[in-house]
Copies of this chain bind each other. A is one copy, B any other.
Amino acid sequence: MDELDFDIIKRLQTDGRTSYTDISEELGVTVGTVRNRVQRLIENQILKIVGVVNPFKTGSPSVTIFGMKVRHQKLDHVIKKLVAIPEVRFVAAATGVYDLYVEVITSSNEELYRVMKNGISAIDGIESIESSLILEIFKQSYDWDVGSQSSQ
Name A's B-contacting residues (CB within 8 A). 1, 6, 9, 11-17, 44-55, 57-61, 63, 65, 67, 79, 82-83, 87-98, 101, 105-107, 130-147, 151-152
Interface contact A58-B141, CB-CB below 8 Å: no
Interface contact B65-A101, CB-CB below 8 Å: yes
Interface contact B139-A89, CB-CB below 8 Å: yes
**For the complex of A and B, 3 pairs with smallest distance between CB atoms:** A12-B51, A96-B132, A16-B49
Query: What number of copies of this chain does the assembly contain?
Result: 2
Interface contact A55-B142, CB-CB below 8 Å: no
Provided the pairs A55-B146, A144-B105 are in contact, do residues A50 and B16 lie with their beta carbons within 8 angstroms? yes
Interface contact A88-B142, CB-CB below 8 Å: no
Provided the pairs A106-B145, A145-B106, A147-B107 are in contact, do residues A135 and B94 lie with their beta carbons within 8 angstroms? yes
A138 to B83, CA, bound (A): 7
A106 to B145, CA, bound (A): 7
